Amino acid sequence: MNSLVGMTTSEITELLTSIGQPSYRGKQISAWIYRRGATSFDQMTDLSSSLRQRLAEQSSVGLPEPQHRAKSDDGVVKYVQAFHDGQSVESVYLPYEDRVSACLSSQVGCAAGCTFCATAQGGLARNLTAGEIVGQYLRMQSESERRISHVVYMGMGEPMWNYDEVIKSIRLLGDEVGLSYRHITVSTVGVPAGIVALAKENIPVTLALSLHAPDDETRSRMIPTGRKWKIDEILSACAQYAQITQRNLTFEYLLIGGVNDSLEQAAELARVLNRYHLPGNVNLIPFNYVETEQGFRRPSRDSIGIFRAELEKRGRTTTQRMTRGQQVSAACGQLRRMHESDKRSVTIELTELGMGKC
């Protein structure tokens, strides 16, 4: 059965003409799915009932089904969305005063093995298709009264390890859904070949690097892929990205108490970024609780302030991520793991878990 989400307008048009329909039907159906929020053929009221029935018999719109929703007091909604094969991922709806963002997953699970991440504890099951990635956005948009204007690829998975489908999904969000490419952010743990390839796509998205440490020894303890790609190699790729695209980057830095939050590490972080003349801001993310073998803890308020002040003193624009969604386990991988545990009659209190970033 054909899933229409994931197809371009031209591909949907080709499908419709192959069953004897005029080409404009493909444009109508594409608009219903990508622009008007239809989740079923029954909602496409300018199609004849016979055509709608025929489409339903041989195709599906193809949106994932929400298995679970959890809403926080601050308006954040965490979804567990399931696909045709029963696999599920997390997606997050993030409303702000001036915009609404959607955090999307690119893989079912993740193979990066980051020691601070709940997703990594479950390993990698499979890649998502472009339709499954875009479908997360469309499902959340269908339930939102506000337009979702921004997308971040910061959910489950490493986008660069599902490169072709991620790029296709970005183009669908821009060309079919109508999002501004400048409102799309792709986050990576640091895959040099993928970073350079993205630069050459000529898509003005924002690249976010999950750096998390200024030196290879500390980073390799946090991110096992750090043993394969050293910081110099990753930042060299980032420098090529900045040169090719003429765009700023975002450097994500998860602050963990006693691990990477010292004054000396802040100074070294500024030095290494400045050495490569890398434009962009450092986004500090104070760690919120995820149970880990290492017993990671949140840094103190004072150490966060000292770390930030040192970066700014050394010329680095620094922001601090707003902590949101704590009541709904907004850290990557937490809610899906809890939902699966609930099905096995294991109870975990939502309020014990907080927000983080893979």
Active site residues: 90, 332
Structure tokens belonging to residue 159: 């986008």
Dihedral angle computed from the Cα positions of residues 182, 183, 184 and 187, in that order, rounded to the nearest 10 degrees: 100
Q: What is 302-324 written as a DSSP string?
A: HHHHHHHHHHHHTT--EEEPPP-
The letter for the amino acid at 169 is S
3-state secondary structure of 114: coil
List the Cα angle 198/202/205 in 5-degree steps. Answer: 65
Pair 169, 135: CB distance under 8 Å = no
> Distance (Å, rounded) from C-alpha 28 to C-alpha 14?
13
- Which ranges constitute the DSSP H helices of 200-248? 216-222, 231-245
Could you say which DSSP state residue 40 is in?
Answer: S
Pair 173, 110: CB distance under 8 Å = no
The letter for the amino acid at 47 is L
Instruction: Find, among 124, 154, 121, the residue nearest to 290 by Cα.
Output: 121
| Integer angstrom CA distances of residue 108 from 29, 82, 168, 177, 328 | 28, 10, 17, 23, 20
Burial class (CB in 10 A: 0-12, 13-18, 19+), 171: middle
